[in-house]
Amino acid sequence: MTAPIRYKATLREDAYDADRDTRNPAVSSSYFGFSASGEATAELVYAHSGNPEDYDLLRKNGISVKGKIVIVRYSNPYSYRGFKALTAEREGAAALLIYSDPAEDGFTKGKVFPDGPWGPESHIQRGAITYDFIVPGDPLTPGWPSLPGAKRIKPAEAQSLPKIMALPLSWRDAKPLLENMDGPDAPPEWQGALPIKYRLTGAVKAHVKVDMDTSVQPYTVVEGRITGSELPDEWVVVGNHRDAWAFGGVDPSSGTASMLELSRSLGELKKRGQRPRRTIVFCSWDGEEYGLTGSTEWGEQFAAHLRKNLVAYINVDESVSGAATTAGDLGLSFNADAVGSLAPMIVEATRDVRMPSGRSLYDAWRSTEMRDKKSEAPPADSELVDTRIGSGSDHTVFLNFLGRPVAGLTFSGDYGVYHSQYDDHFWMERIGDPGYQYHIALTRIWGLLSLRLANADILPFDFGFHARTVRQFLDELDQRVRLSEKIELKPLRERLAELDRVGSSVDSALNKSLADGSLDSEIVPEINQRFLAFETNWLHEPGIPGRPWFKHLLYGARYTYAHLELPGLTEAAEKSDWKTAQEQAAFLEKAVQKNIDLLKPISGELDSMEALTPHAPKNEKPKEKP
């Protein structure tokens, strides 16, 4: 700060005697990955969360941020820091400062580090500001693998590289900037938890200088494989990234610990002669924090094989992102997200996993859902898995670019030290998961799902449920923007209803054939090949309008990283571009019909088998489902 008084931010986090790792000199000072380099001295403006509507409010108050330095906070409504940067860049700001207000992740929530899970006054949320919601991965190789000798575009041409300087601050470093403003009061909903009056502007000038290393450096993806005994070309991929902003006790090292234990356990089974039928690939991704880079480039490199033969990708960014010491009697919340076809299998598998309390994961999941949603009734099984999938982790390339089924797993709770040096071994061992029991539970469900996918005679997808989730996506969009009043939706609705009928018929017939042993083994490979093609059929090669890398018709991500269902149709409708909306509805209808045609022959074959198979006497119990 150069006016009205001089103040220089420390850009450092405090050390604590209780945790010797906080004294490690290798921990970096404050910075954002992929910030632009530069230098500016200008007036400071407070813009709340830094979302477009916040700048609209500033304009209504006669305040422009063009050429000025903007300070915003990590706050609700949440938005990814890269979207804050893009928004500030579009507004013409000279630089962006993002700080952690204690209203979101500090003392107003509870005890702070080292006594509790929340962030102390000096904690800094580092991170990247890459525009990977437009194109993830290496910014210089958009859409193709970043290998030695690969073609690279110029940085100035890269859509995902920010053109604005940006820097993260602790609230201790931000407070002098904010409290010296003397302009108009910020509205009540913009007031934070610091003991000051938050103002929009006035009196404060700041000097920001950022100098980034822009050399090209290598990322390394480490992978291990257990080759399948019968179907080695069909893969189940499990993954976690290992790069962190400091120690990464939660993000990502808790997930890394679980993946190492999972690979060790499955390696022991292999030594005993229990090799999975399909290949299981373990991937330790590099560069996730900078733009989902390692996974994206790996997916682009092996795209031809993965689009055809990847059964599913199961992602664990972090195993335990919450404080077990503050979770109460019911414990941490289990969260699973997945495409609709995988959701029923996940729910079923949780019945066979034990929690630290001795309860099944299924029972604990339902209880914590009731607690977290303040509901008096337990959720239905169909409501447990979140089928609305955004971005921000390594599943993105598999779902949005390759069109493969994905799932993500974690335990969550109070967690206020994200991307700071306090996210470390001390935090996890003393606060997050003493005894590592939640790590064990996460590893068990991850392993069980991997083995069921790798060993299943018939791939355990539920296409009837999947069709119903898509119908729900369309219903919600229609209700929100009155879509059916603007475009013709009847053909799409009819196709979705038929997909529900056909998918449910296949699911029912397969379950019956498996239970009574009547399934003809000769048609199993053909069934599985059709099942593998189902998710790929949702790809639309031209991609979402304006974002061709994102190719999935059902799943996308907003610029904030939030989930975005029916992305092409939704974005067109939200812009009132009804011509494009009708085109996107036609693309969806075509994809739905393609999957109806894919599944119908299976239903016909199973029906003919049923007609030829003698039925068991009524008093004879059918065989157990394998």
Q: What is the pLDDT of residues 17-73, one digit of tens each?
A: 999 999 999 999 999 999 999 999 999 999 999 999 999 999 999 999 999 999 999
* CB-based contact 249:424 (threshold 8 Å): yes
Let me know how many helices (H) and strands (E) the chain has, helices first.
17, 16
* CB-based contact 447:262 (threshold 8 Å): yes
568-587 pLDDT, tens digit per residue, is 999 999 999 999 999 999 99
End-to-end Cα spacing for the chain: 68
Q: Which CATH number fits domain 463-612: 2.120.10.70, 2.60.40.10, 1.20.930.40, 3.40.50.1820?
A: 1.20.930.40
Q: Does domain 222-455 have CATH number 3.90.220.20?
A: no
- Predicted confidence at residue 609, as pLDDT, reads 60
What residue segments make up the domains of the chain, in order of their start? 20-210, 222-455, 463-612
pTM of the predicted protein model: 0.95
Strand boundaries in 52-188, DSSP class E = 69-73, 95-99, 127-128, 165-169
Query: Is the dihedral angle over the CA atoms 534, 538, 540, 541 positive or is it negative?
Result: negative
User: Structure tokens of 275?
Assistant: 């090799």
- Count Cβ neighbours within 10 Å for each residue of 416-444 and write b for 16 or more, e otherwise: bbbbbbbbbebbbebbbbeebbbbbbbbb
Cβ neighbour number for residue 134 with a 10 Å cutoff:
19
User: Structure tokens of 527?
Assistant: 């069934």
d(CA 365, CA 445): 12
Query: At 280, phi and psi to the nearest 5?
Result: -105, 125
Using alpha carbons only, give the angle 359, 330, 242 rounded to the nearest 5 degrees: 85
Question: Residues 6 or more apart from 63 whose CB is under 8 A from it?
Answer: 45, 200, 201
Type of residue found at 577: D
d(CA 209, CA 441): 46
Q: Which CATH number fits domain 20-210: 3.50.30.30, 3.40.50.2000, 3.40.50.720, 3.90.850.10?
A: 3.50.30.30
Question: Helix 463-481 vs helix 578-612: angle between axes, to the nearest 10 degrees?
Answer: 160
* CB-based contact 58:47 (threshold 8 Å): yes
Pairing outcome for strands 38-46 and 205-210: antiparallel
Which residue ranges in the chain fall short of pLDDT 70? 607-626
